[in-house]
Amino acid sequence: MANRLGEQAVRSQAFHKFWLKITAIVVGSFGPIFFLGTMAATLEPARLTLDILSWPIDGGTRWDSPDTRFLSALTGGFLMGWGVLIWCLSSWVHDLAPEPVRRSVLTGTLAWFCLDSAGSIASGNASNALFNVIVLLIAVGPLWRPAIDAGRS
């Protein structure tokens, strides 16, 4: 009985709305890190993050090319914008259309996972695909399945 109540709570639209905020933070938190990679004085968090994601940590990740710093600006902007979009969907749209919001965020997250992981493997950084599995599981959480009370959408 308690297990069933726990499942109902986790699969409720209210919990999905809460989890969308978790997803927004997970996605958006990488934005400022990569933004810092645009300037020589503050690039270490971005460089270290990429060094970790391209495991093993060996200090081999370089951030001295202007092209890398420009790509860091683009990446930071896209990730921050995507995180803010998910937060706004949770805040302003979810109550009106909870199931379409859930499916949209899930679809976008799966698209990121597939392309980012394929690119990581193709570029010789398969370890990032493994990190992506962890990020995917955290970002998606209970959003894999529709809310039990989804009949209202």
Give one DSSP letter per residue of 73-141, joined into a string.
HHHHHHHHHHHHHHHHIIIIITTT-HHHHHHHHHHHHHHHHHHHHHHHHHTT-HHHHHHHHHHHHHHHG
pLDDT digits (tens, 9 = 90+) for 72-93: 999 999 999 999 999 999 999 9
- Domain presence at residue 153: no
- Domain presence at residue 139: yes
Total-model pTM: 0.90
Q: Locate 109 and state its tokens.
A: 């997250």
CA atoms within 13 A on the CB side of 112: 21
- Domain presence at residue 132: yes
Structurally, the chain folds into a number of domains equal to 1
> Which range of residues forms the domain containing residue 122?
2-147
Measured CA angle at 57 (ends 116, 30), to 5 deg: 45
- Domain presence at residue 152: no
pLDDT at 27: 98
pLDDT digits (tens, 9 = 90+) for 94-141: 999 999 999 999 999 999 999 999 999 999 999 999 999 999 999 999
With contact defined as beta carbons under 8 Å apart, do 70 and 143 qualify? no
